[in-house]
A and B are shown apart, each in its own frame.
Chain A
């Protein structure tokens, strides 16, 4: 008798014990004389259900989770049917059923390093179509789709590509920014671990579109599993001639610096320098890596290109709201009951996502705030939960969508401490090039301490300092740190009153 089971090897699933489950499944199958084919997949993104085991029955994948080693024996005894951890068809779980999976269509479904499975699930269709198109046509298709930078800045991808297409240079580059440092975000990691060929395909299409023969992926060192999986995928892609002299990709690894997620700091880091921010202009599109024309896009931007080419721009832009077109992988994290990755058309409100889909907090206490867009994003109180999740919509509400990470806090959160942490983080990670960020972050910490100590002069100083950082910083690190600080102060002033030290 043989049996095929699917179990994620995504880092979050591993962190929750997936390898222990795998070992137990293998041992139990052996003891029963069952020939087990255990397919290690990426994650479906329902992190609270990990480790999530799947089995195909009647053409549908049925799930069991969150599994513990002690569940394994009874799973076999139940013949993978009626079990306390049975979830039914995975794609019928409401969290999954309500999604529109375009970029993450294969993530959690296939073995990420199985190129045949990749092709069988629609992979390579975009690249094959692009090969029959002129560069201008590919750029036009991406422009028409409305795709904007998913790293956070939201710049139209097609326009960036067109600038590089028009630029003159002895060598052009495609650089993928996989320095996903924002807390609450893990979409890049999940995609590189769960569907790495999708990123490779997207970069190859970008190469055809702008005339670049070399690509780089700059991945943060905090992602050892993504580095390993993506590195293996590169080797397999070379063996299969998906990568060759005409377009090849090199994987580079960062070294723990948050600011290297800023595109010009990333370029300096790739060139072997300190990760300091460059003044713009010149734009990377004109003078990027090695001072040559360079496309820099986030992982999700590039990984969304294959489906745009395969299904057409009109299909992609049929999703979304206003100028935020297509889908966005929302990542819900922190103190959340049902956290994970939820890919949906832009336009869902914060409240619908947090309360209806994610079930509120993990602690069961009331939601106090969410921080959207990472450590440089604003805190949104519950009174703003009718804000739709889109680039302009979040901006109009005084925040930013960023890389679409949403961190949930319950009512025990101390927003004064969170505001201070925002300044501390900026001080730790500042590259030091510009004064408002380098000095401002340190003075910001001190000034928040003064507010918390009851100094009546301090709030005005903090407001002035935030204005200086916002207007005078070279990049978003110093420029956006006022977002979390000022939103915390604005919506939760009660958390900035003098502290009574519990000395006793």
Chain B
């Protein structure tokens, strides 16, 4: 049987891992870079990362599953992170979260059916004196309303 084709995804993950292998404790920088490059960390990326960093696939799976930032499935075109922490709750974040979940038709961590938006809870953005706060991709929003956040999150990615 001919040698299996190496997928471009696996190849990319291997290159990223190799580029970071010299670091002390390279795994988090590698996972961030893979997710940045591919949008998520697909299953097939694990084996090449494991080989390059001399880790087991199980160890890498354990790390991915520990950290909320890492996703193993594709997310929406935009990510809407809405703060649920105390300072924002003092300014109505609980209702804002409820409104957004209703409007978008998803629960926390969910992606809208049209693939436009992934809704993530976040526990503090450091924008605590102008809450409720949110982050649309990397754009910070203060005194957020559900209207504004939905509009920003649904803006077509240009």
Contact = CB atoms under 8 A, between A and B. Distances in A.
B123 A333 contact: no
B68 A413 contact: no
Contacts of B29: 252-253
A333 B133 contact: no
Contact of B86 (A183, A190, A428): A183
B48 interface: no
A331 B128 contact: yes
Interface stretch (B7-15, B87-95, B99-107, B111-119): B87-95
A340 B81 CA distance: 22
A408 B87 CA distance: 7
Given A47-B129, A184-B128, A274-B62, A256 B91 contact: no
B90 A408 contact: yes
Nearest to A375: B86
Given A257-B66, A289-B24, A15 B129 contact: no
Contacts of A258: 123
B129 A181 contact: no
Interface string A409-446: 11001000110010001001101000000000000000
Nearest to B24: A290
Question: Which DSSP category, helix, strand, loop or mixed, fits chain B's interface?
Answer: loop
A333 B141 CA distance: 16
A255 interface: yes
A184 B87 contact: yes
A64 to B, nearest CB: 18
Nearest to B85: A183
Given A255-B67, A275-B67, A11 B128 contact: no
A335 B91 contact: yes
Contacts of A343: none
Contacts of A250: 23
Contacts of B67: 254-257, 275
Interface residues of A, number: 66
A50 B126 contact: no
A38 B47 CA distance: 49
A168 B23 CA distance: 23
B90 A407 contact: yes
B90 A410 contact: yes
A225 interface: yes
B138 interface: yes
Contacts of B126: 11-12, 180, 185-186, 188-190, 222-223, 226
B28 A253 contact: yes
B123 A429 contact: yes
Interface in B115-138: 122-131, 133, 135, 138
A15 B124 contact: no
Interface string B66-85: 11111000000000010101
A336 interface: yes
A403 to B, nearest CB: 11
B32 interface: yes
Given A184-B128, A271-B24, A429-B123, A221 B69 contact: yes
Contact of B129 (A290, A332, A413): A332
Contacts of B86: 183-184, 334, 371, 375, 407, 418, 421
A333 B129 contact: yes
A129 to B, nearest CB: 31
A417 B126 CA distance: 22
Contacts of B37: none
Contacts of B26: 272
A303 B90 CA distance: 30
Contacts of B85: 183-184, 375, 425
Closest 8 CB pairs of A and B: A272-B27, A339-B129, A333-B128, A183-B85, A334-B90, A255-B67, A256-B68, A15-B142
30 contacts: A12-B126, A12-B127, A12-B140, A16-B142, A16-B143, A48-B130, A50-B130, A182-B124, A183-B83, A184-B85, A184-B87, A184-B124, A185-B128, A189-B126, A221-B69, A222-B124, A222-B135, A226-B126, A255-B31, A257-B66, A258-B123, A271-B25, A272-B26, A273-B25, A273-B63, A290-B25, A334-B86, A336-B129, A425-B85, A429-B123
